[in-house]
Amino acid sequence: MKSLNQLAFRLFRENKFLIFTSVMSIAIAVSLVITMTLFAVNAKQTLQEDMRKMYGDMDLAFVYSDDNPVEDEQKLL
C-alpha cells in the first residue's frame, strides 16, 4: 500500500491543470470575500460620517416602545 505522501505527489504530477484551477478558484474566492468585507466596512463608515455631517454629534437617543410604555417620566431618568 502506498503512503499518503506518494499519493499526493502522484496527484500533483498527473493533474497539474486540476491543481492549478483549484488553487486559482480558492484565491479568487478569498479575494472576493475580502473585497465584500472591505466594501461593507467602508459603507458603514461612510454612513456614519454622513449622519455626523447632517445631524452633528448625537449624545442621546430615545426609543419608545408600545410594548412597555413608561407612565412616569422620573422612571426614565
pLDDT of residue 44: 93
Compute CA 39 distance to the chain's CA centroid, rounded to the nearest angstrom.
Answer: 9
Q: Which of 65, 51, 19 is nearest to 76 (CA)?
A: 65
Whether residue 73 lies inside any domain: the answer is no
Q: How many domains does the chain have?
A: 1
Q: Is residue 77 part of a domain?
A: no
**65 pLDDT tier (thresholds 50, 70, 90):** low
Is 75 part of a structural domain of the chain?
Answer: no
What is the model's pLDDT at position 75? 62
Mean pLDDT score, 42-67: 79
Confidence at residue 46, expressed as pLDDT on a 0 to 100 scale: 95
In a domain, 39, yes or no: yes
Could you write out the three-class secondary structure of the chain? CCCHHHHHHHHHHHCHHHHHHHHHHHHHHHHHHHHHHHHHHHHHHHHHHHHHHHHCCCCCCCCCCCCCCCCCHHHCC
Domain-embedded: residue 51:
yes
The pLDDT of residue 28 is above 80: yes
Question: 14: domain range?
Answer: 4-68
